[in-house]
């Protein structure tokens, strides 16, 4: 399909009675703020976003794997649930809304051809969410069959009745129970003795709760196989979005760049916090212990590399062109569906509603909820500018 804002449209002589409205809208979309040759500032943005977003992404993972950092449990919980709120706000405000702006009914693309016959952004997001649900369900089903688990009836989960094993154990949650290493009350006040210290050194239970599960036990392999696929889908959804905004920052200039640069530093850092927080609670078998670091680094590198590519293509890449709108709109809608499902189901429902090990400590619950809503609210506010 050709670009509707091509050379045939003469902006200096427009006959409103005969010129298609779509030509006018496409022209206005294409007449954005141009690159202004501030090469040094653009290069600086690459390294600033790389360092800040990567460091924030690594923080939750370090908290659960490096005991000597002595990160308080409250700090970790804040980061984890603040990040969950960020992911949910990103889905609705930073992905679904821009998808409407790129391919929605009132956009340049949405007024042409088959795009004008239907509101595609919610349809694409819905399809994406349902596909992710199917993949998540199949992964869960595969793990249950492989390890001989029996899925507990929902009545047993709600009423805390004995599960299928008859011993009061919710066997259906065996693959998910290790998601909540910092949510358990039954060990909250216990004291753990450090090995190799003749049991003289006592470790605070809060720090022990931040110790990540790793090793080669059957439980760890089961939980890893059940959860890693959903996380990879989440990260790829966020990365799609990061590529687009990185390209746009690389070609931006003037007031657009002045606004986008500081906003994207916070934007990418908060998203990275959500990625790291989600990854930090996934048990990792010994042979895959390098994977969390690689996944955090992959996220941290995505936007800086995209900025560099946009910088190199600033004379040819037009983020407001018809083709760019189609690509970014479709990717944003797909990513929105992924993050909506992951945020509401994987992060909220499983952590707060269907987690048999969820804490009953009122202060801790309050911290978790305040952090969640704070992350959601701040990320939604950032959507005012980017």
What are the residue ranges spanned by the domains of the chain? 36-147+209-384
Please tell me the predicted confidence (pLDDT) of residue 11.
58
Whole-prediction pTM? 0.76
Q: Which two tokens stand for residue 335?
A: 């990513």
Q: Which two tokens stand for residue 212?
A: 């990540």
Please tell me the predicted confidence (pLDDT) of residue 189.
39
Query: What is the C-alpha separation between 379 and 384, in angstroms, rounded?
Result: 9
Unique residue bearing structure tokens 């649930």? 81
Half-sphere exposure of residue 340, counting CA atoms within 13 Å on the CB side? 22
Please tell me the predicted confidence (pLDDT) of residue 123.
96
Please tell me the predicted confidence (pLDDT) of residue 155.
36
Please tell me the predicted confidence (pLDDT) of residue 207.
45
Query: What is the C-alpha separation between 29 and 5, in angstroms, rounded?
Result: 9
Which conformational region is residue 199 in: left (phi greater than 0), alpha (psi within -120 to 50 degrees), or beta? left
Asked if residue 285 lies in contact with residue 216, where contact means CB atoms within 8 angstroms, the answer is: yes
Residues of the chain with pLDDT under 50: 1-7, 152-182, 184-204, 206-207
């Amino acid at each position: 399909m050709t670009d509707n804002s091509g050379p045939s449209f003469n902006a200096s002589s427009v006959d409103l009675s005969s010129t298609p409205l779509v030509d006018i809208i496409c022209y206005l979309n294409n007449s954005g703020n141009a690159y202004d040759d501030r090469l040094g500032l653009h290069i600086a943005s690459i390294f600033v976003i790389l360092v800040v977003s990567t460091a924030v992404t690594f923080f939750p993972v370090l908290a659960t794997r490096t005991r000597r950092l002595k990160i308080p449990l409250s700090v970790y919980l804040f980061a984890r649930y603040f990040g969950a709120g960020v992911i949910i706000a990103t889905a609705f405000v930073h992905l679904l809304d821009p998808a409407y702006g790129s391919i929605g009914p009132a956009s340049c693309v949405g007024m042409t051809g088959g795009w004008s016959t239907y509101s595609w952004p919610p349809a694409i997001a819905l399809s994406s969410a349902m596909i992710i649900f199917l993949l998540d369900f199949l992964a869960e089903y595969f793990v249950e069959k492989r390890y001989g688990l029996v899925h507990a009836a929902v009545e047993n989960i709600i009423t805390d009745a004995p599960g299928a094993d008859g011993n009061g154990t919710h066997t259906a949650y065996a693959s998910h129970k290790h998601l909540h290493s910092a949510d358990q009350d039954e060990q909250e006040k216990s004291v753990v003795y450090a090995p190799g210290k003749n049991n003289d050194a006592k470790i605070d239970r809060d720090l022990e709760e931040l110790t990540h599960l790793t090793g080669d036990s059957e439980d760890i392999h089961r939980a890893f196989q059940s959860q890693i696929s959903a996380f990879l889908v989440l990260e790829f959804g966020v990365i799609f979005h990061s590529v687009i905004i990185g390209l746009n920052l690389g070609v931006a200039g003037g007031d657009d760049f002045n606004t986008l640069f500081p906003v994207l530093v916070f934007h990418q850092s908060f998203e990275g916090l959500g990625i790291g927080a989600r990854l930090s609670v996934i048990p990792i078998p010994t042979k895959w212990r390098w994977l969390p670091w690689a996944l955090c680094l992959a996220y941290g590198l995505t936007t800086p590399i995209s900025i560099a590519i946009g910088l190199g293509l600033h004379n040819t890449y037009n983020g407001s062109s018809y083709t760019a709108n189609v690509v970014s709109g479709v990717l944003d809608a797909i990513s929105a569906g992924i993050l909506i499902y992951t945020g509401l189901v994987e992060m909220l429902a499983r952590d707060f509603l269907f987690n048999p090990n969820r804490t009953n400590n009122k202060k801790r619950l309050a911290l978790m909820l305040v952090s969640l809503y704070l992350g959601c609210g701040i990320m939604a506010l950032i959507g005012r500018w980017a």
